[in-house]
Chains A and B, each alone.
Chain A
Amino acid sequence: MSAIPYVATEVLEVLVQRQTRSGRIAMTLAVLALIGVAAMPWWASTGTIRSILVLCCYIAVAQMWNLLAGYAGLVSVGQHAFMGAAGYALFVLAQTYGINPFVAVFLSLLVPAALAVPIYLLLHRLDGPYFSIGTWVVAEVFRLTASNLPLVNSGAGMSLRVMKDYSAFERNVAMSLLCAGMLLVTLGGSYWLLRSRFGLALIAMRDNPVAAASQGVNVVKLRFLIYVASAVGCGLAGAIYFMAQLRITPGSAFDPMWANVAIFIVMVGGIGSIEGVLIGSLIFFIADRWFGEYGATYFVVLGLMTLLVALYARTGIWGLISKRWDAPWFPIRRKLVDPNR
């Protein structure tokens, strides 16, 4: 019997590099931008704050759609259901029950979370494209229910009159802090998620759900959690948006326009990346300011652009950029580096 020769394997000292120079620069800029948003009342007019609030809502909703469609493979066209639900919850809590509106914003998030659970359990039975239309039906059900529900003043809608108890400056401070918080939760939260263990699972799932499941990723559970998280994120955007609007009606609360916005931003910017959401949001925001007055023609162009991106450039603008330059703003890769070399 001969002994198995023992070979001394040399354990290589490797470093896991997770941040890049472009990432550090982008992170610094992102933190500065976040501080800038939080400090808006001290440098921006009320009009500017409102515009930036809308931009922040675009970014948040688009990133939530991106998580769903870009990672979980769940193409929803009905996320506005949760925006409206949280918006209405805020109005009912603050206006009808007299809870401090700035507390009610957070309490109202319980509604989309609670609704998302049974809805997902129902809709996940639908196959691929049918899931999408199912989400749309749910949004329609919400809209029609709100139109018939005396608690939310039926079709006439509600106004947030309690906001007049606060001065314009106080409201601006609250709005700015809420916007900064929303960006931190939706973008920062997504970034943190993608860099964590779950991020690896999510990316594996995006590339191939069957292969990911075979590697031990609990695809079913992860999809469910992403759906609920996305509902809460959209709810936050809805609550903040309608708090700034001061008025909510079934038509505005459950407006399919938000699905258009999210899909346009993510597809044109680049699906499956945070950078794409930022690029897409800026493009949409600027286009909306410049061309919004052209109404229908503008939407024809928007629709055709979405169509063309789906046909010819599925990775969007960020996909084209990252193919050319390897400089991610929000790096999520793990790179092994040999320190001796």
Chain B
Amino acid sequence: MEWFDALVQGVLLGGMYAQYALGMALMFGVMRIVNISHGDLVILLSLIGISIATAWGLGPLPVLILLVPLAVLMGWVLQKAVLNRVVGSDPLPSLIATFGLSIALQNLMLQIWSANSRSLPGHGIESQSIEIGGIYIGLLPLIVLAVATGLTWGLDLTLKRTRFGRALRAASADVEAAAMTGINPRAVYAMATAAAVGILGFAAVFQALRSTVAPADGPAQLIYAFEAVIIGGMGTVWGAFAGSMVLGISQAIGFRIDPGFGVLAGHIVFLIVLATRPQGLFGKALS
């Protein structure tokens, strides 16, 4: 029963990680770029959300409604100002640029919000729980999981069915060929990053609700997103979702074994997957 409980908690934790991982999978799939400031953007959005909530006395839902468009705008600006200049076959410039941005953001947040941990007041939502067969399931983690599932489903559908999705997939398969058919890669990239960071707007609100955030927390979120993407297998949105579940379950079981072992358990599962199935659990083997 105890282990089943850990499994359930792991799946719920995975819902949180899926919200980080989706954006990373999208950006890497389309541009072959990894944004090292990915986690710092979550924290920045969380801190902005917390400040808005305290200044105007808003609840979590209005904060979410304000934060997601802001995140989309941030993603678009990030693409226009930074990423469009470094996208290319050489991974070095994009890594260095976003690495520098990450250091700058972390320390800027430290200046503005100090090193204290903060959280978003949820007006009781964070402490409610439902009992199912002897296991208490928090209402908030359940909402997080539902939103993560909805986002994954929506993103998958967008990629498969819409004009924008087709343009994205074309650009990720072959940029030059896509450009010849009339797709403007820069515009597609800007929309992809806007969508990726927009999803982080959701992640930011939920992260701040279910736990605390501090300016130095970004790199950990980046690493979780990365591990989820690699475990699940690159190239599929549902793969990133499944990878997040595996990571969440590994950490929850690890925490149950020893509180000092939780995060490490996640890293170890990641390394085992990398050693035994480098294409990821749900990825196609490279020929």
A residues with a Cβ closer than 8 A to B are: 69, 73, 75, 77, 122-123, 125-130, 132-134, 136-137, 140-141, 144-145, 147-148, 256, 260, 263, 267, 271, 295-300, 302-311, 314
A147 to B259, CA, bound (A): 12
Q: Which of A69, A144, A306 contacts B100 (CB 8 A)?
A: A306
Asked if B85 lies at the interface with its beta carbon under 8 angstroms from chain A, I say: yes
Assess the A300–B108 pair: CB atoms within 8 A: yes
Q: Is the interface of A mostly helix, strand, loop or mixed?
A: helix
The 22 listed contacts between A and B (C-beta, < 8 Å) are A122-B271, A122-B275, A123-B274, A129-B94, A136-B223, A137-B223, A137-B270, A144-B263, A148-B264, A260-B103, A263-B99, A263-B100, A296-B111, A299-B103, A299-B106, A302-B104, A303-B101, A309-B100, A310-B93, A310-B96, A310-B97, A311-B85
Chain B interface residue count: which class? 35 or more
Report if A310-B100 is in contact (Cβ < 8 Å); known contacts: A122-B275, A125-B274: yes
Interface-lining segment among B26-34, B145-153, B205-213: B26-34
Looking at chain B's contact residues, the main secondary structure is helix
Beta-carbon nearest neighbor of B91 in chain A: A128
Interface centre among B28, B226, B234 (most CB of A within 10 A): B226
Cβ-defined contact, A305 with B100, below 8 A: yes
Q: Is B190 part of the contact surface with A, judged by Cβ < 8 Å?
A: no
A126 and B94 within 8 A (CB): no
Distance (whole angstroms) from the CB of A335 to the closest CB of chain B: 29
Contact across chains for B274 and A304 when beta carbons are under 8 A apart:
no
- Chain B positions 73-105 with a Cβ under 8 Å from a chain A Cβ: 82, 85-86, 91-97, 99-105
Mask, B183-207, CB within 8 Å of A = 1, is: 0000000000000000000000000
Nearest-neighbour CB distance to chain A for B251, whole angstroms, equals 12
**B268 cross-chain contacts in A, Cβ below 8 A:** 141
Contact partner of B223 (CB less than 8 A), chosen from A140, A263, A302, is A140
- Name which residue of chain B comes closest to A266, CB basis: B96
Whether A125 pairs with B107 at a CB distance below 8 angstroms is: no
Residues of A contacting B179 with CB < 8 Å?
none
Contact of B278 among A125, A141, A310, A314 (CB under 8 A): A125
